[in-house]
Structure 1
Amino acid sequence: MGGEVRYEIAQNAYIKVVLHALKHKTSAVNGVLLGRLSGPDNSVEITDAVPLFHSHIALLPPLEIALIQIEEYYGAQGLSIVGYFHANERFDDLELGNVAKNIGDYIYRYFSQAALLLLDNKKLEDLSGGKDRSPVMQLYTRDSSKSWKLVGSEGSNRLIMKEPSANIVLMDYISSKKWHEIIDFDDHLDDISKDWLNADLFK
């Protein structure tokens, strides 16, 4: 089944993770993906995302606090953590580092179809042309081999947009500097009045 899984990401989840990376351009950032298995083919539906950290992203205690709160909130809605998102500190760095792999491994223990998404800054930069409808991130999955493998877009196991116009909407948000409004778990730990759910982001 591992080679047949499809990953479909909803527009708001997709935009959240990109805006999080844009807000902290000089830092590595990360987040988790929420969703469920759907359909007879057990495709993974990514319906939401929670931006986690932009500093000290390798520290375990804040991560554990965040995951407990996220699982409690989304579990009540029938959603689970189905993947992990990472953007590297350097613009030209497309290596999947150990922090990303380790957190991905942790999620994989509980969800064996876990997706690991790595931001591709070059693809993001090329969006200004407005024609590309493919996600600006690379998809990695793993199986019992314990290593994360990059999935080619031409393969049967791929990341697709739920809304084909997601990149057009993303470009609108980038031009209006919407990334200033995104709040991650780091921000929430600094000031608990800040909403890590970003409930008002798309209003």
Structure 2
Amino acid sequence: MGDLIYEIGQNAYIKLVLHALKHKESSVNGVLVGRFDGGKGVVEIVDAVPLFHSNIGLLPALEIALMQIEEHYASQGLSLVGYFHANERSDDNDLGNVAKNIGDHLCRYFPQAGVLLLDNSKLEALPKVKDRSPVMQLYSKNGSTWKVEESNRLVLKEPSANIILLDYVSTQKWEDIADFDDHLDDINKDWLNTYLFK
């Protein structure tokens, strides 16, 4: 992997955290969309698509979602660059088998794919400490195993992202987010969350 930097845009970051907050009682996941700048050694995470909050390891639904997402973003010159996961229990900070398997799957197509795991303790501390670092931990693939990366390898593109996030949390903006599960239940629910930041 070298010393790649993973730079996450504000909207992608906020979307993933809101997805986890909406479904606090279950594991959630999503994919990261962006581009790889090999010259700078940066994986730019431009957008995020919340996937599931129930049956997160169900392969047929995952395959359908990934095909639709790739098709949608290809026209913008973007592709899948990683995966996001939040565990069901707030005290669980381990990268589980489902997250590793989906990460492995994405690495077949994009070897530099990273996995972001929500850190609930960082999220809970955010209003008190006014931290500017992401509330998630970056994992990268090293051979056949996933390892935690140094915190400076994952950066927020906009330093004020946590301030904006707190504003969305205080107004319970997570109620407006739709994931692929929601879309499969009701096709009127927009898995792209086009209007989330309007």
Verify same fold: TM over 0.5: yes
CA drift at 1:130: 4.9
CA drift at 1:60: 0.4
Deviations 1:102-134 (A, max 9, x none): 000000011011010000000000001252000
Decide whether the 8 Å contact of 1:27 with 1:55 is kept in 2.
yes
Decide whether the 8 Å contact of 1:130 with 1:168 is kept in 2.
no
**Aligned residue pairs: how many?**
198
Q: TM-score, normalised by structure 1?
A: 0.96
Q: Does 1:174 align with 2:150?
A: no
Cα RMSD between the aligned structures?
A: 0.9
Amino acid of the residue matched to residue 50 of structure 2? P
Determine the structure 1 residue equivalent to 2:151. 153
Q: Does 1:165 align with 2:160?
A: yes
Determine the structure 1 residue equivalent to 2:195. 200
Distance in structure 2 (CA, Å) of the matches to 1:101 and 1:32? 13
Q: TM-score, normalised by structure 2?
A: 0.98
Distance in structure 2 (CA, Å) of the matches to 1:87 and 1:201? 20
Q: Which range is displaced more, 188-197 or 128-137?
A: 128-137
Distance in structure 1 (CA, Å) of the matches to 2:183 and 2:162? 28
Determine the structure 1 residue equivalent to 2:26. 27
Distance in structure 1 (CA, Å) of the matches to 2:128 and 2:88? 25
CA drift at 1:4: 1.5
Q: Which runs of 5 or more structure 2 residues have no equivalent in the other structure?
A: none
- In structure 1, the residue corresponding to 2:115 is in which secondary structure? strand
Decide whether the 8 Å contact of 1:34 with 1:49 is kept in 2.
yes
Deviations 1:37-56 (A, max 9, x none): 12622310000000000000
Distance in structure 2 (CA, Å) of the matches to 1:65 and 1:129? 40
Moved over 2 A (4+): none
Q: Which runs of 5 or more structure 1 residues have no equivalent in the other structure?
A: none
